[in-house]
Amino acid sequence: MRGTAAWSGCSLPMGRLISGARSLSRGRVVEPGKFLEVSADALRSLIAKDAELSDIFMRAFILRPLALVTEGLGNVTIIGSRHSANTLRLREFLTRNSHPHTYVDLETDTAAQELLDRFSLKIDEIPVVICSGTTVLRNPTMQLLAECLGFAGTANESRIRDVAIVGAGPAGLAAAVYAASEGLDAVVIEAEFPGGQAGASSKIENYIGFPMGISGLDLTGRAVVQAEKFGAQMWVGQRVVQID
């Protein structure tokens, strides 16, 4: 679809265009211009065929979510307490999935009571997660939060995958990259967040290819984008309980 537009403000996290996940923000048309809408499959094909555009897109895929996380821009608000283990659990889940969010601390934020009143929330329901300004989750499990954000994916019994990878640690992500790059239909199923223990490291200095070191979060983010570039799907918040 072709049209006329010019974008300003907070752009869409383009990595989600290849992953199929829901967008985090909207663009705004301010001046006449041109745009071209393409499907996720067409975008992946373009990245595979055009080296120059691939470099531009992949850099944006990697850096833009990190910028949104740094700025706290996104479609999720957590209302909780720094003394609550469940609050810390949900914030870690979002951070390690590179999903930006706004945090309202009941202990210090003056706007906290207004939010509690607006959504008819009680203190014993904390932590509370507000998705896209509409859906209210009271002390949700990580699986419920993943489903609300579109992380969990959808299984289709009519579609038989070539490869199912259980666990998105470094080995699982590497397997996804290798499988998908060879044209296999691959899905990665992760109960909590990609990266495993390595993803929580502040700096990894013994990983091949990064002589100056790299943070576990950055390494994980790059691996996820690389796997999705080749068409692998990530299902986060799903726990495998049995294999037949």
141 plus 177 within the same structural domain: no
Structural domain includes residue 185: yes
- Check: CB of residue 150 under 8 Å from CB of residue 22: yes
Phi/psi at 219 (nearest 5 deg)?
Answer: -60, -45
11 plus 57 within the same structural domain: yes
- Check: CB of residue 60 under 8 Å from CB of residue 43: no
Its domain, for residue 94, covers 76-148
205 plus 225 within the same structural domain: yes
64 plus 113 within the same structural domain: no
Query: What residues contact 115, with CB distance under 8 A and at least 6 apart?
Result: 77, 79, 104, 121, 130
> Which domain-ending residue is among 13, 40, 71?
71
13 plus 28 within the same structural domain: yes
202 plus 189 within the same structural domain: yes
Structural domain includes residue 192: yes
What pLDDT was estimated at residue 20?
A: 58
39 plus 100 within the same structural domain: no
- Flag the least confident range among 20-24, 44-48, 117-121, 187-191: 20-24
Categorize the per-residue pLDDT at 55 as very low, low, confident or very high, splitting at 50, 70 and 90.
confident
User: Does the pLDDT at position 16 exceed 70?
Assistant: no
Structural domain includes residue 60: yes
What pLDDT was estimated at residue 182?
A: 94
63 plus 95 within the same structural domain: no
The first and second tokens of residue 39, run together, are 């499907």
> Which domain-ending residue is among 95, 117, 148?
148
Structural domain includes residue 156: no
Structural domain includes residue 154: no
Structural domain includes residue 22: yes
- Check: CB of residue 243 under 8 Å from CB of residue 189: no
Q: pTM for the full model?
A: 0.71
What pLDDT was estimated at residue 6?
A: 40
106 plus 169 within the same structural domain: no
CA atoms within 13 A on the CB side of 224: 31
Our count of domains for the chain comes to 3
167 plus 232 within the same structural domain: yes
> Which domain-ending residue is among 148, 173, 192?
148
Structural domain includes residue 13: yes
14 plus 67 within the same structural domain: yes
Q: What CATH number is given to the structural domain containing 118? A: 3.40.30.10
23 plus 53 within the same structural domain: yes
